[in-house]
């Protein structure tokens, strides 16, 4: 999933390799066998900028009808609940009907981590069965390669053709080299990447130890024995108590060491990135089967389209009527394109308006226009606020203009005030602190930031008359703006200080050019907003001073 920013110039499009063709064919055949389909005029090809992409064979403009680009049956959607229950069934300790797989030692993971663990296990199973190659795999072929016994992991392969077609290289900061990481110094993404490395290592260690306790070593030749052989070596190298002290500096120094010590960790981080970059909001497909496990979902096929901010699309969930159910019609989710299709042109989805901080953190691309960029500010924080996409469950800020008992539609490019956090300049982080967003389009200080600073100021004695109250309000506002100015100037100074090193780092020949270019666009947006925000606060302070002088 990537952006359309550089596609306007129509970069070269190349056909699929034989291995890619086999994987795509296996995936589309599987999708159709489950009741889904892509529009008949769409085809896959490689775009020089966006990689594997969908294109149109014919024009569909001016015909008066919207184009349904893909239909996906809801029963193949990967939800946290589905991922957890499948893993529990595959790794049950006993054979008793009452054993739900927890074995009295239930694995505790966040909703997103269950989906990532599912993707991780399917990927390992596929690599084991295909000898590390990426030839297309059909569900039937994969199952035929398994000796039928209670020790097989067949349930994991139900969505194998989908997992097999996912890109292996998604260069988000979580997958930067140690030198590439230095490009982010002085930005929130630097700290975010370090904390993601810690969190994924802890989740992987916890999950793998739980799995190993359920994989017998006396089952030679079985799927379970092969999986144990992959997971077991050197797992102690990444074992880490969640209560242990964490240091950004120590994490940066040991950046590459954990994956070198334990190879499966790289695959687990890849699976985590797949969820971050391809997930949809759970409300798109109705209420989850267990309210206690709500989180991001993967929708095979709907996630195959790259991002273009200007794309006019709707995601729609349709629950069949009683008559349709009688005709074996399934609940489905669809992607409808409203601005037509052009022959030979790529077909895009819209992930909604997002800042480059989110795009780079979760999707490995940026928007050079920077029209939705923000600077993150946390009062009293460590300088490491998380990108907005990490603190929300959806992959795009969305609102639901239409709701009914049988269908719901989401326009990802439309954001309204009723959409809560998506339209807000402030969210509450898991640690209780408030994270404020100074947008590149803001012409005044974010009200939420100003309000929080005022709350933190020492209380003033209440004036008895109207003029005195106005003076107090202006004085309080002026003091708050002064605090915000100091915060912004300190943040900008640290950013500029780090910027002096970036040009030297960017010239290191081993750095990936796409990574360097993406980070440079992100940093450019951060610098512009910091400079604009400082000028804005200075202007507002002057206005407060003028108002104060007028009433004196």
Looking at every residue in the chain, the average pLDDT score rounds to 82
297: helix, strand or coil: strand
Lookup: tokens for 32? 């159709």
The answer to whether residues 336 and 274 belong to one domain is no
The answer to whether residues 207 and 101 belong to one domain is yes
- DSSP per position, 365-401: ---TT-TT-EEEEETTS-S-PPPGGGGSSSSS----S
Are 112 and 295 spatial neighbours (Cβ–Cβ below 8 Å)?
Answer: yes
The answer to whether residues 205 and 136 belong to one domain is yes
The answer to whether residues 120 and 258 belong to one domain is yes
Are 130 and 137 spatial neighbours (Cβ–Cβ below 8 Å)?
Answer: yes
Which one, of 123, 121, 140, lies nearest residue 132 by Cα?
123
Number of domains in the chain: 3
The answer to whether residues 36 and 94 belong to one domain is no
The answer to whether residues 61 and 102 belong to one domain is no
Which of 319-323, 356-360, 445-449 shows the lowest per-residue confidence on average (mean pLDDT)?
Answer: 319-323
Looking at the chain, the whole-number percentage of residues with pLDDT higher than 70 is 77
Are 540 and 478 spatial neighbours (Cβ–Cβ below 8 Å)?
Answer: no
484: helix, strand or coil: helix
Query: Mean pLDDT over residues 300-307, rounded?
Result: 97
The answer to whether residues 335 and 405 belong to one domain is yes
Residue pLDDT, tens place only, 134-171: 455 444 454 444 434 444 677 788 899 999 999 999 99
545 in any annotated domain: yes
Say what the pLDDT of residue 228 is: 87
The answer to whether residues 48 and 24 belong to one domain is yes
The answer to whether residues 107 and 29 belong to one domain is no
Say what the pLDDT of residue 289 is: 58
383 in any annotated domain: no
Give the C-alpha separation, 407 to 332, whole Å. 10
127: pLDDT confidence band, cut at 50, 70 and 90? confident
378 in any annotated domain: no
418 in any annotated domain: no
Domain range for 325 is 13-76+299-351+395-410
The answer to whether residues 478 and 523 belong to one domain is yes
Give CA 362 to chain center in angstroms. 4
Say what the pLDDT of residue 384 is: 47
Which one, of 111, 112, 13, 54, lies nearest residue 335 by Cα?
54
The answer to whether residues 173 and 270 belong to one domain is yes
Say whether pLDDT at 347 is over 90: yes
374 in any annotated domain: no
Say what the pLDDT of residue 233 is: 82
Say whether pLDDT at 43 is over 50: yes
Lookup: tokens for 64? 């008066």
The answer to whether residues 202 and 224 belong to one domain is yes
Say what the pLDDT of residue 9 is: 44
498: pLDDT confidence band, cut at 50, 70 and 90? very high
Say whether pLDDT at 11 is over 60: no
Looking at the chain, the whole-number percentage of residues with pLDDT higher than 90 is 56
Are 437 and 446 spatial neighbours (Cβ–Cβ below 8 Å)?
Answer: yes
Say whether pLDDT at 358 is over 60: yes
Exposed (0-12), middle (13-18) or buried (19+): which is 118, by Cβ within 10 Å?
Answer: buried
Which span out of 29-38, 88-97, 316-325 was modeled with the highest average pLDDT? 29-38
373 in any annotated domain: no
Query: Mean pLDDT over residues 325-334, rounded?
Result: 78
Give the C-alpha separation, 314 to 309, whole Å. 13
Exposed (0-12), middle (13-18) or buried (19+): which is 25, by Cβ within 10 Å?
Answer: middle
51 in any annotated domain: yes
48 in any annotated domain: yes
256: pLDDT confidence band, cut at 50, 70 and 90? confident
CA distances to 457, 465, 527, 542 from 479, rounded to whole Å, are 8, 21, 25, 12
Say whether pLDDT at 519 is over 60: yes
CATH, residue 319: 2.170.270
Q: What pTM does this model have?
A: 0.86
Which of 11-20, 41-50, 383-392 shows the lowest per-residue confidence on average (mean pLDDT)?
Answer: 383-392
């Amino acid at each position: 999933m990537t952006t359309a920013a550089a596609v306007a110039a129509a970069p070269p499009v190349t056909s699929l390799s034989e291995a890619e063709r086999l994987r795509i064919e296996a995936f589309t055949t599987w999708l159709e066998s489950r009741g889904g389909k892509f529009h008949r005029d769409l085809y896959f090809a490689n775009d020089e900028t966006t990689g594997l992409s969908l294109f149109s064979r014919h024009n569909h403009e001016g015909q008066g009808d919207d184009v349904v680009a893909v239909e996906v049956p809801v029963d193949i959607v990967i939800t946290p609940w589905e991922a957890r229950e499948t893993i529990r069934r595959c790794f049950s300790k006993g054979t008793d009907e009452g054993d739900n797989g927890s074995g009295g030692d239930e694995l505790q993971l966040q909703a997103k981590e269950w989906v990532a663990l599912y993707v991780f296990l399917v990927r390992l199973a596929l690599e084991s069965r295909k000898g590390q190659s990426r030839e297309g795999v059909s569900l039937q072929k994969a199952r035929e390669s398994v000796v039928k016994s209670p020790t097989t992991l067949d349930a994991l392969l139900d969505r194998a053709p989908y997992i097999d077609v996912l890109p292996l290289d998604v260069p988000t900061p979580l997958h930067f080299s140690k030198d590439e990481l230095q490009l982010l110094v002085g930005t929130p993404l630097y700290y975010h990447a370090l904390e993601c490395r810690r969190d994924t290592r802890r989740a992987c260690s916890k999950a793998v130890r739980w799995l190993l306790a359920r994989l017998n070593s006396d089952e030679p030749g079985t799927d379970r024995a092969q999986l144990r052989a992959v997971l077991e070596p050197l797992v102690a190298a990444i074992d880490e108590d969640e209560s242990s002290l964490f240091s950004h500096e120590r994490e940066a120094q040991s950046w590459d060491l954990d994956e070198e010590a334990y190879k499966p960790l790289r695959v687990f981080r890849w699976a985590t990135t797949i969820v971050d970059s391809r997930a949809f909001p759970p409300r798109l497909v109705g209420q989850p089967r267990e309210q206690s496990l709500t989180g991001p979902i993967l929708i095979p096929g709907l996630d195959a389209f790259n991002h273009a901010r200007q794309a006019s699309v709707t995601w729609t969930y349709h629950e069949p009527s009683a008559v349709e159910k009688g005709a074996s019609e399934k609940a489905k989710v669809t992607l409808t394109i409203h601005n037509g299709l052009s022959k030979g042109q790529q077909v895009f989805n819209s992930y909604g308006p997002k800042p480059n901080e989110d795009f780079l953190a979760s999707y490995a691309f940026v928007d050079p226009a920077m029209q939705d960029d923000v600077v993150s500010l946390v009062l009293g924080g460590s300088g490491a606020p998380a990108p907005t996409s990490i603190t929300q469950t959806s992959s795009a800020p969305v609102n639901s203009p239409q709701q009914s008992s049988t269908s719901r539609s989401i326009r990802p490019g439309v954001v309204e005030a009723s959409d809560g956090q998506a339209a807000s300049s402030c969210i509450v982080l898991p640690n209780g602190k408030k994270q404020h967003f100074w947008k590149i389009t803001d012409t005044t200080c974010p009200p939420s930031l100003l309000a929080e600073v005022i709350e933190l100021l020492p209380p003033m004695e209440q004036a008895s008359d109207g003029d005195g109250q106005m003076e107090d309000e202006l004085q309080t506002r002026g003091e708050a703006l002064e605090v915000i100015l100091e915060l912004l100037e300190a943040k900008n100074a640290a950013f500029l200080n780090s910027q002096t090193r970036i040009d030297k780092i960017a010239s290191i020949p081993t750095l990936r050019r796409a990574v360097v270019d993406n980070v440079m666009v992100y940093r450019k947006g951060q610098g512009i907003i910091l400079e604009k925000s400082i000028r804005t606060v200075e202007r507002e302070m002057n206005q407060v001073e003028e108002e104060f002088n007028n009433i004196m």
